[in-house]
Structure 1
């Protein structure tokens, strides 16, 4: 009996031993949970952020590049800091900062890494890297920030910033993670998918002191990051810098286009800011300063400011009337001085002479013929029918809606239509005498500087334009892929454009003398845009042109706010940019045109008059 009991007890011990062995095998071999928990103590999973794509100008000069920075990551469970004061001294933070950052990291996760300090410069990291091993639970994660070769092109290039919770909600691809950066404005935003690249992951083995010992499992689980694609922009970097220099201290815009391709050579919004201020550790500080600046440097006047076009719009009036067949390019029309205030003399006018003298009364008659064609029972039905055709024709020139440039935020301006005047005055209660100010580019019309530069390109091309754009090719692995853009036709033919161009060449000689370049023929048109503000006495100076007139290579629009007539500030600015682009330098002339612009001498006479 006792012998049987001994066998039973031995069997029980053996059974228990087998159970323990099976359980131990399951825990150590079959179930990876404990292995993974152990490995987390010695393996850091590091996100390998890709190099963001670079940006180059049309001549492949570097505009935007990457500079290395470092985020100090923390795993709260692993943290051991023997001397908090020494840690704070090393990282230039206060004890309060240390405690607040640790609290935030624990709230995120006690076992997952998160950013403790962000955007340490390469220089700062060099100072602390040899001491980082002393602080268990902390390690460096390299990434990059954007830098700019010149302090220009801020609104066009744009800036990057940390993704918001809202961005993460809207990201259906699940690409972005908390702490990631993305393009928020300009080209950085529009071409985000091309520029961002693809993240990679590496796993590093570290010892108990936090010292890296190599790749985990020889890197078998690592994935390499893929750098972003480069942008080859249409911008002429040196010309852009020159244009921004000319506009310094002014408010306004310059847009220059290659009419044959739609490539934007220059886009200036003044005032602007140094894009390097919104890159790196002090983004928040400088962003608030720039945002609160009363001159609105974040407002891109080139695509967002809306102005009355003024007299430059007389070219559009002529082209629409010619398309409608209500005038002939060389038809003499007698002009008196009874209807509108006019500096042009009375007499016989055709299209070229009307543009040359910028005759208000001539274009009053031109538009009247366009909208009043005798198809209604009275002027109160005839004018709306004609205005509907006129509105559609104006929109074919790219006015009234965004042109589709490759940065976001572009506005379309305003082209009035029948519905607008019905709301304002009531149906059949208005006629041409109500809307005649449109004939000289005033009234309810509003355009952007980009649209005006595009108009110059249309005339240079004799009736079409290519969608204006800032990027002409995407580069990947050293291979450039050109982008394609749509061609838009604006009218029925090109046979009457020589009369328009002739008038513009004569207009520059007559009304924009300081803008003349003796050996470069310029076709241009001055304008004055009413500012609509009672507290500002001077209207806006407007100039639109292309050159050379017989073989156009550059089309340009300049708006200088509160600078008076178009042949002054804007005309001279445009001529300097044209000369710089076509010749490569500015000749010394008797007019000293650069000094005239840089020192705002165009204001002297205007201030005396006012």
Structure 2
């Protein structure tokens, strides 16, 4: 029975097989709709690179733009023997460059295009395009390079360059080709997906002579390139350029924030460099030169350098002490014991306002001692342990010891000393207050960047909370079609009424105390000086300030490396920048020129400028 059905079964399966074969033959050979476009030598596949999104300041001024150029690509499989001498003369290249580039292209892929020559100007393209019919396998793609009308903010903006090999190999979806540009640092890297746009593809019919014969299949498979989204930043270009001027001859950083929104108004790292140096054909040469510079201009000090906060941290100690009830604004520590009794800077304050105004080390030593001792432990070791844990939880809410979440890569967390750190150094239950007292005045094992100092100032201006700092207000092709940056509110948990008392002291710092050089006529400025220890040369000068006192519009932090005292080196920069932002111009032109021309002795490659964890050093009692 089974034998009699065998022919029928075989005929059925053979019929199915023949149907499949005929269908595949039709789809692959006869029906052009399903032909492999990449396999047809008569069809040229062109990638259309969209212009990268541009970058604007808060007032619509252009900071980063594009200039259109042309890149030359080569597909080795399509290259035939040609006159190499004429070709090299046409593009003004050497025979060695031609041979090595073709070899590298073949090693990458014989079938896929590789970058051959980058960034021909429109004039260079026009001079060679007609001759390219003699050189099959070489094609042009429209591209661009970045230009910088603002000529500023190089570190925060970042740069674009050829995609690194590792990044190329780790792509989740195949988008970039070898030699393609990609954001490598700064905003260019953080907003790469928004800035790059969407690539288009065009298929063109070609005859045997390499001449174009029109669109393939009436352009049915072509896709249009979509221009990248623009970045609309919160930067005030005039304020940013003023910072560049004031930091002439100096090493350091500045960050200015709108405390009510968290928007960055200015962010500078100095010495800086002309951002156009890392755009164009000389990228590799210029990058190598900048990398060798001992003052590290490629390092964005604003978000990655480590400094001790110095006396600016006394403001945090004051707020915590008031919240915990260990002090009141009228508390005096005149005659109280202090580890600073035999050091300079021993001024004893009559009350909190006086202590902030004069930056009294003994006063804040005693405030911190009371904070640490504010628990039921009787053993000095256990008391210090519990006290430091409680203190650290509150301090972390100011943003210390963690990333603030700014829209830039490479932000450092910094260092907030904790129990684990001291256990590691001294052993568990082997340390007490006398081992950590330097934390009372912002020295010791801290590590903060200038962004954190600016954020601290914004927190004080807001009387107890801060918003996620950010550079980009919105992204989009136009201002009518935009998407904003997500901003969160972070609260310290300390009552605003306690911050009001701290702010009163900050007002005295500028009106009568160590920060008088930050004064601005007609504007009530609140600030605090600081001196950050530095083992290599003079100490670093810090000043933080906000203005006006009520409904503040700007909070700013300035660090001048090797500047010595914050009231001398940093406060004048703060004052002039506040004047520019709130008044729209600087009227003290002679003073501005004097500050710009002041040079501070620096030590190249200072350890404070590196993204390294700070080491514990003896306490310096300067303010």
Give yes or no for contact 2:338–2:366 (8 Å, CA) kept in 1.
no
Determine the structure 1 residue equivalent to 2:419. 418
Q: Could you tell me how far apart the structure 2 residues matched to 1:557 and 1:262 are? A: 14
1:273 aligned to 2:273?
yes
Give yes or no for contact 2:63–2:151 (8 Å, CA) kept in 1.
no
Q: Could you tell me how far apart the structure 1 residues matched to 2:546 and 2:344 are? A: 26
1:600 aligned to 2:595?
no
Q: Which shifted more, 56-65 or 373-382?
A: 373-382
Q: Could you tell me how far apart the structure 2 residues matched to 1:389 and 1:294 are? A: 41
Structure 1 pair 97–459 and aligned structure 2 pair: CA distance change class (3 A): same
Once the two structures are TM-superposed, the CA of residue 338 in structure 1 deviates from its matched residue by 5.7
Q: Could you tell me how far apart the structure 2 residues matched to 1:68 and 1:305 are? A: 36
Determine the structure 2 residue equivalent to 1:493. 495
Once the two structures are TM-superposed, the CA of residue 174 in structure 1 deviates from its matched residue by 2.9
1:286 aligned to 2:286?
yes
Q: Could you tell me how far apart the structure 1 residues matched to 2:598 and 2:454 are? A: 23
Give yes or no for contact 1:137–1:210 (8 Å, CA) kept in 2.
no
Determine the structure 2 residue equivalent to 1:475. 476
Give yes or no for contact 1:342–1:361 (8 Å, CA) kept in 2.
no
Give yes or no for contact 1:53–1:197 (8 Å, CA) kept in 2.
yes
Determine the structure 2 residue equivalent to 1:301. 301
Determine the structure 2 residue equivalent to 1:246. 246
Q: Could you tell me how far apart the structure 1 residues matched to 2:529 and 2:265 are? A: 21
Q: Can you list the C-alpha shifts for 1:316-351, whole angstroms capped at 9, x where unaligned?
A: 0001111111111233443468641354644x5222
Give yes or no for contact 2:58–2:233 (8 Å, CA) kept in 1.
yes
Structure 1 pair 602–568 and aligned structure 2 pair: CA distance change class (3 A): farther
Q: Could you tell me how far apart the structure 1 residues matched to 2:119 and 2:426 are? A: 59
Q: Which shifted more, 518-527 or 555-564?
A: 518-527
Once the two structures are TM-superposed, the CA of residue 33 in structure 1 deviates from its matched residue by 12
Q: Could you tell me how far apart the structure 2 residues matched to 1:480 and 1:37 are? A: 37
Q: Can you list the C-alpha shifts for 1:494-538, whole angstroms capped at 9, x where unaligned?
A: 1122221111111112212322222111100001101122xx2x1
Determine the structure 2 residue equivalent to 1:526. 529
Q: Which shifted more, 192-201 or 37-46?
A: 37-46
Q: Can you list the C-alpha shifts for 1:178-230, whole angstroms capped at 9, x where unaligned?
A: 33322111111111111121111101233444343432222112111122211
Determine the structure 1 residue equivalent to 2:85. 85
Once the two structures are TM-superposed, the CA of residue 422 in structure 1 deviates from its matched residue by 1.8
Once the two structures are TM-superposed, the CA of residue 77 in structure 1 deviates from its matched residue by 4.1
Determine the structure 2 residue equivalent to 1:13. none
Equivalent runs, 1:177-188 vs 2, <5 Å:
177-188=177-188
Give yes or no for contact 2:562–2:601 (8 Å, CA) kept in 1.
no
Structure 1 pair 414–162 and aligned structure 2 pair: CA distance change class (3 A): same
Q: Could you tell me how far apart the structure 1 residues matched to 2:208 and 2:116 are? A: 20
1:517 aligned to 2:523?
no
Structure 1 pair 175–603 and aligned structure 2 pair: CA distance change class (3 A): closer
SS of the aligned residue for 1:596 comes to helix
Determine the structure 1 residue equivalent to 2:234. 234
SS of the aligned residue for 1:130 comes to helix
Once the two structures are TM-superposed, the CA of residue 171 in structure 1 deviates from its matched residue by 1.8
Give yes or no for contact 1:151–1:273 (8 Å, CA) kept in 2.
no
Structure 1 pair 495–111 and aligned structure 2 pair: CA distance change class (3 A): closer
1:176 aligned to 2:176?
yes
Give yes or no for contact 1:568–1:602 (8 Å, CA) kept in 2.
no
Determine the structure 2 residue equivalent to 1:548. 548
Determine the structure 2 residue equivalent to 1:119. 119
Q: Which shifted more, 230-239 or 112-121?
A: 112-121
Determine the structure 2 residue equivalent to 1:130. 130
Determine the structure 2 residue equivalent to 1:5. none
Structure 1 pair 322–251 and aligned structure 2 pair: CA distance change class (3 A): same
SS of the aligned residue for 1:131 comes to helix
Q: Can you list the C-alpha shifts for 1:366-420, whole angstroms capped at 9, x where unaligned?
A: 1111001251122222121111111111111110111111111111111111121
Structure 1 pair 87–500 and aligned structure 2 pair: CA distance change class (3 A): same
Structure 1 pair 424–137 and aligned structure 2 pair: CA distance change class (3 A): closer
Q: Which shifted more, 302-311 or 144-153?
A: 144-153
Determine the structure 1 residue equivalent to 2:460. 459
Q: Aligned pair count?
A: 575
Q: Which shifted more, 128-137 or 564-573?
A: 128-137
When the two structures are superposed, what TM-score results if normalisation uses the length of structure 1? 0.89
SS of the aligned residue for 2:413 comes to coil
CA radius of gyration, larger in: 1
Determine the structure 2 residue equivalent to 1:503. 505
Once the two structures are TM-superposed, the CA of residue 100 in structure 1 deviates from its matched residue by 2.0
Equivalent runs, 1:39-78 vs 2, <5 Å:
40-78=40-78
SS of the aligned residue for 1:242 comes to helix
Equivalent runs, 1:88-167 vs 2, <5 Å:
88-167=88-167
Q: Could you tell me how far apart the structure 1 residues matched to 2:548 and 2:411 are? A: 29
Choose between structure 1 and 2 for higher RCO, CA contacts under 8 A separated by at least 6 residues.
Answer: 2
Q: Could you tell me how far apart the structure 2 residues matched to 1:273 and 1:303 are? A: 17
Q: Can you list the C-alpha shifts for 1:3-38, whole angstroms capped at 9, x where unaligned?
A: xxxxxxxxxxxxxxxxxxx9xx97995387998799
Q: Which shifted more, 190-199 or 567-576?
A: 190-199
Structure 1 pair 350–193 and aligned structure 2 pair: CA distance change class (3 A): same
Structure 1 pair 358–109 and aligned structure 2 pair: CA distance change class (3 A): closer
Equivalent runs, 1:205-224 vs 2, <5 Å:
205-224=205-224
Q: Could you tell me how far apart the structure 1 residues matched to 2:299 and 2:562 are? A: 17
Equivalent runs, 1:437-448 vs 2, <5 Å:
437-448=438-449
SS of the aligned residue for 2:52 comes to coil
Q: Could you tell me how far apart the structure 2 residues matched to 1:595 and 1:424 are? A: 48
Once the two structures are TM-superposed, the CA of residue 238 in structure 1 deviates from its matched residue by 1.6
Give yes or no for contact 2:262–2:470 (8 Å, CA) kept in 1.
yes
SS of the aligned residue for 1:556 comes to strand
Once the two structures are TM-superposed, the CA of residue 177 in structure 1 deviates from its matched residue by 3.0
Q: Which shifted more, 432-441 or 155-164?
A: 155-164
Q: Can you list the C-alpha shifts for 1:541-587, whole angstroms capped at 9, x where unaligned?
A: 10000011223110000000001100111110111111111111111
Q: CA RMSD in A?
A: 2.5
Q: Can you list the C-alpha shifts for 1:109-144, whole angstroms capped at 9, x where unaligned?
A: 444433222222333223322333333332211122
Q: Could you tell me how far apart the structure 2 residues matched to 1:150 and 1:488 are? A: 33
Once the two structures are TM-superposed, the CA of residue 160 in structure 1 deviates from its matched residue by 1.5
